[in-house]
Structure 1
Amino acid sequence: MASSLTKDAAAQGNPASGGKTFFGHPRGLATLFMTEMWERFSFYGMRALLVLYLISGGTDAKPGAQGGGLAMTMATASAIYAVYLAMVYLLAMPGGWFADRVWGPRKTVIIGGCVVMLGHLTLAVPGTAMFFVGMALVALGSGLLKANISTMVGHLYDGPQDPRRDGGFTIFYIGINVGGFAAPLVVGTIGQSVNWHLGFASAAVGMGLGLLQFIIGTRHLAPLSSTVPTPLSIEERNSWLRKGLLWLVVAAVFYGIVVGTGTFTLNWALIPIALLGLIIPVSVLARIKRDKDLTSAEQTKVSGYIWFFVAAAVFWMIFDQAGSTLSGFAEKNTADTVFGMHFPSTWFQSVNPLWVMALAPVFAWMWLALAKRLKEPSTTIKFAIAMVMIGISYFVFIVPMGMSSDGTKVSPMWLLMVYMIQTMGELCLSPVGLSVTTKLAPEKYASQMLGVWFLAVTAGDCIVSLLSTAGADLSGVGVLSAEATLAVLAGLAIWLNRKKITGLMGDVR
């Protein structure tokens, strides 16, 4: 499937050696940095507006807020938001597959960028149908693009042992957070304060700028980025087309009957997608675990990896509610004035990227300092810390929830604190999870396991969607407490079983 996510040939060459550099790195890094920055600008801009637009004009909207939205309940909006995020990460796997088998990474990124831009432009057109079409296009384009940008960063270096490689990915990661930080300030402000659809259009402009500079800068990329590693044969292509058309016909007939009988509701779309988002990750892990080609040592490592996968799903289940549960609280229950200056609630969506940029160097220094003293926590301990931190963040969040129950607007500092704690957990889990995924991957699946890691996000978000669809009040103290307790217990379980998990990991630490 998504083999392009981690594919790094041993001798890829450096197309930029001897020429201009980007902070000492291949010139192509600047092209990929800007492309990812603008793609994240469009993605996080849309994410900042999504839930607020869905509830705008409805009973759950803030009194006096801009109308013109779809007037949905907060529960429905949260379910749609969670499914949307889940699909972005789920589609990263077929996105990598298309690059490996059909178009190559470079062409796949261009097509993905065009689809994302078209999606945002579709969102800029009023209407419920146009909204769902636009959202589907953005998710599809993001999946195509997300799976392959990182691959092309790897292509710029002389294999995994190139000493500049880690620094290059660090610079690239900064681009992600710069885009994520700027998007709510620009797209969020335009959409929330001027016009929703103009906000979506501004996200399209951002993606367009990223696509334009990518096309101009492709000459700086490695030749490998334009090749198709394992192209489909004519027989395989015809087989995939037949299967795709068959499933398309089945879906069309099924939903045609549902619509024709007058029984269609939004849940007919949300629930099947959310269930697929749970079934596919479990199926993929089960398929890898049951593979008889794996050695006993590889089988054992996969068993150890399942612990990290389940923990990550619980973590992202809570973390990704920043754009739904926390966004709704920021809109209705948090003061929007500081030192006499008013700001839109979408600005809170810039806080996490800001905390990442501020704290990531601190964490990098801390791990290095501890490593020199032979006291750096193991991967297992870091995961346990992350789970406890994400749980604590919701226990802290319950405090301002109670303070605002009578209509009082709480200080923005509460949300700043919640986001800070969550970011600290993220820095203990996200980069560590990426690393341990590649280390525990069986040789046969070395190129696919990063796609499996993304499926943990899909699983976590789909759980949230199903809970919301079932009527759980994600903004209620009871559900928040249950989620926080689950995360802390998961962290405690990892800590108590750390020796067992470490044993399953073999020579990986």
Structure 2
Amino acid sequence: MTRASGVGLLSDPRDRGVLVLALTEACERFSFYGMQTLLVLYLLHAVLPGGMGQVVGLTGFRVTLSHVTGPLTDLAFAAEVVALYSSLVYFTPILGGLAGDRLIGQRRAVLVGAAFMAAGHGLMASTAGFLGALGLLIVGSGFLKGNISAQVGNLYQEAEADPRARAFTLFNIGINAGALSGPLACGAAAQVWGWHAGFGLAGIVMTLGLVLYAACGRVLPPDIRRPRARTHAHLTGDERRNLGLLAMVLVTGLFYSATFYQLSDMYIVWIDHHVRRSLGGHVIPTNWFSCLDSSFTVLGSPVVLAVLAACARRGREPGGLGRILAALLMNGAAWCLLAWASATSALVNPLWCVACSALLGTSFVLQWPTTLALVSTLAPVRLRSTLMGVAFLTLFVAYNIVGWIAHFYEQMAPWQFWLLQAAITLAGAPLCLVLDRVAGRSVRGVGLVERV
């Protein structure tokens, strides 16, 4: 992104609204990632060993889930709970967005969502309320995430491309700041004062976000109601072709996401048992490792953009599918590194985790923003918002696959499990190559979008 010399990030009065939205989203991401990275360990170390009867409804939930998946060990059950929770967090924003657009307005929807999430984090302080807390968090995330991003765009007119891009850049900074700081702070609190301290800190920060949003309503955009369209234009031949291409791109993305998001599931369990975490007489909290990939996403973004710019100057910039292919290869290489480390050492040096996270975090810069750019570029204008929602629904599918793959962790040696991860990821590479050959010219000009 380029900006006129001397124009500050908050030079536009509307940027104060963006700042409030970015800080609110930072609080939401802090609480979400801070809690999510503790979840599987909390289940394995605190809830399941003490007996499921201490959690209201957990026994019945496990029985019901076992009817769908088959018998579950404690580890497999914990992995399924985390995967199901994470997947539903990416499903409910579709419904929350519809409620904000057509029923209660975006402002009220964000307030409702933030209140539900703060209540959910508060309920996590009680072991008995664990399932209810997850339910509140899922519903709250749907209302909040389904509407807060739309409010950023609502601050600007459709033709104001540069201010809008600057606004989404600031908003993205809030997302990354919360994603980085949440696991660090909540993990430290949980290690020093216990699990509920970590969950409580997530709740406090979410409550601060709710108070900030409610107190600064005057700088937020007015609600925009979007009534249901009454006419349906037929798709042209080119539009149908582009939709088919997008469908295949999203399928290819599943090969990436279904392994990448193991970072919040079996990767944490593996680190807890197989990685040397002692440093200078102190033990590094396990969930701190889960924020390494986010840090490399932040640090790697300018590097990736610089490399792509250099390639463009030489006329060799890869297209959208080429970038997704590179992301798949980097993802697969990351899991191969873990397989090698697991096969050659019983207690793995944490530097292997750093190297793995560097590849995964940088690959994310190439895969997810490029996918959103393809949707934005190729989707018919009247279907763009819907297809953006479909792109996020692929994460719902991916997290469910993550939970299914996690079942194999106990049946394999760790190095075999990580090789399985690599094989699943790299299986998407041939499909990506075929798509690039068949339709690559359609997406040659697609670049990394900054409004992610």
Give TM-score scaled by structure 2 length.
Answer: 0.86
* Alpha-carbon offset, residue 470 of structure 1: 7.9
Q: Quick check: 1:203 aligned with 2:202? A: yes
Change (3 A) 1:144 1:484: same
Given that 2:340 and 2:415 are in contact with CA atoms closer than 8 Å, whether structure 1 keeps it comes out as no
Q: Contact 1:333 / 1:410 at 8 angstroms: preserved in 2?
A: yes
CA contact (8 A) 2:370 2:446 kept: no
> CA, structure 1 residues 27+308, in 2 after alignment: closer, same or farther (shift >3 Å)?
same
Q: 1:140 to 1:301 in 2, by over 3 A?
A: same
Question: Which residue of structure 1 aligns with residue 440 of structure 2?
Answer: 502
Change (3 A) 1:400 1:446: same
CA contact (8 A) 2:86 2:396 kept: yes
1:495 is displaced (CA, Å) by: 1.8
Aligned to 2:28: 39
Distance 2:306 2:444 in 1: 27
Residue type of the alignment partner of 1:317: A
Instruction: Report how far residue 33 of structure 1 moved.
Output: 0.9
Tell me if structure 2 keeps the 8 A contact 1:193–1:344. Answer: no
Q: Which residue of 2 aligns with 1:228?
A: 225
CA distance in 1, matches of 2:48, 2:342: 19
Q: 1:314 corresponds to which residue?
A: 255
Structure 2 CA distance for partners of 1:126 and 1:502, relative to 1, 3 Å:
same
Deviation at 1:85, TM superposition (A): 1.0
Deviations 1:118-159 (A, max 9, x none): 1111111122xx111111211221121112111111122232
Question: 1: distance between equivalents of 2:332 and 2:140?
Answer: 33
- Inter-partner Cα distance in structure 2 for 1:170 and 1:21: 10
Aligned partners of 2:336 and 2:26: how far apart in 1?
33
**Superposed counterparts of 1:297-446, under 5 Å:** 297-404=238-345, 408-446=346-384
CA displacement at 1:212 relative to structure 2: 0.9
Shift in CA distance, 417/205, structure 1 to aligned 2, threshold 3 Å: same
Where does residue 277 of structure 1 map in the other structure? none
Instruction: Tell me the residue number matched to 2:183.
Output: 184
The answer as to whether partners of 1:55 and 1:73 remain within 8 angstroms in 2 is: yes
2:19–2:170: 8 Å Cα contact kept in structure 1?
no
Cα distance, 1:436 vs structure 2: 0.8
- Which range is displaced more, 136-145 or 471-480? 471-480
Q: Which deviates more from structure 2 when the two are superposed, residues 187-196 or residues 448-457?
A: 187-196
- 1:389–1:77 distance in 2 versus 1, CA, 3 Å: same
Change (3 A) 1:392 1:471: closer
Letter in 2 for 1:96: G
What letter corresponds to residue 30 of structure 2 in structure 1?
Answer: F
Once the 2 structures are TM-superposed, how far is the Cα of residue 506 of structure 1 from its aligned partner? 10
Q: Aligned with 2:127: secondary structure?
A: coil
What 5-or-longer segments of structure 2 have no aligned partner? 1-7, 60-72, 448-452
Helix, strand or coil for the counterpart of 1:163?
helix
Match of 2:43 in 1: 54
Per the TM alignment, residue 467 of structure 1 is displaced from its structure 2 partner at its CA by 3.8
Contact 1:75–1:474 (Cα < 8 Å) also in 2: no
Q: 2:319, 2:446 within 8 Å by CA — same for their partners in 1?
A: no
Distance, in Å, in 2 between the alignment partners of 1:468 and 1:35 is 33
Matched residue SS, 2:427: helix
Tell me, yes or no, if the aligned pair for 1:312 and 1:457 is still in contact at 8 Å: no
In the alignment, structure 1 residue 93 sits paired with structure 2 residue 90: no
Inter-partner Cα distance in structure 1 for 2:275 and 2:159: 46
Preserved CA contact (<8 Å) 1:440 1:508: no
- C-alpha contact (below 8 Å) 1:33/1:175 kept by paired residues: yes
Question: Deviation per CA, 1:183-207, whole angstroms, max 9, x where unpaired?
Answer: 1111112123322122212111110
CA contact (8 A) 1:104 1:229 kept: no
Q: Distance in 1 between matches of 2:443 and 2:355?
A: 35
Deviation at 1:162, TM superposition (A): 2.5
Find the aligned partners of 1:118 and 1:343 in 2 and give their Cα distance: 29
Alignment deviations for residues 212-245 of structure 1 (CA, whole Å, 9 cap, x no partner) = 111122211222xx2433289xxxxxxxxxxxxx
Matched, 1:114 2:115: yes
Q: Distance in 2 between matches of 1:320 and 1:474?
A: 19
- Does the CA contact (< 8 Å) of 2:79 and 2:406 recur in 1? yes
2:389 partner amino acid: G
CA displacement, residues 344-370 of structure 1 (integer Å, 9 cap, x when unaligned): 112112212211221111112222232
Q: Give the residue type in structure 1 aligned to 2:423.
A: T
Alpha-carbon distance change, 371 to 156 in structure 1, aligned in 2, over 3 angstroms = farther
Change (3 A) 1:429 1:461: same
Conserved? CA contact 2:255–2:427, under 8 Å: no
SS for the counterpart of 1:482 is helix
Equivalent AA in structure 1 for residue 426 of structure 2: V
Distance 1:399 1:193, change over 3 A: farther
1:300–1:504 Cα contact (<8 Å) kept: no
The amino acid of 2:112's aligned partner reads I
Distance 1:508 1:368, change over 3 A: closer
Aligned length: 420
Cα displacement string for residues 370-391 of structure 1 (whole angstroms, at most 9, x for unaligned residues):
2233221100100111111111
Deviation of the 1:39 alpha carbon: 0.3
Aligned AA (2:287): T
In structure 2, C-alpha distance between the alignment counterparts of 1:92 and 1:171, rounded to whole Å? 21
**Residue 477 (structure 1) aligns with:** 415
Q: Report the Cα distance in structure 1 between the residues aligned to 2:297 and 2:107, rounded to whole angstroms.
A: 29
> 1: CA distance between counterparts of 2:403 and 2:248?
23
Identity %: 27
In 2, Cα distance between equivalents of 1:58 and 1:201:
17
- What residue identity is the alignment partner of 1:145? L
- Provide closer, same or farther for how the CA distance between residues 466 and 411 of structure 1 changes in structure 2, counting only shifts above 3 A: closer
Q: TM-score, normalised by structure 1?
A: 0.77
Q: Distance in 1 between matches of 2:132 and 2:402?
A: 22
> C-alpha offsets along residues 73-117 of structure 1, whole Å, 9 cap, x if unaligned?
222111111111110111111111111111111111111000111
Deviation at 1:442, TM superposition (A): 2.4
* Structure 1 partner of 2:141: 142
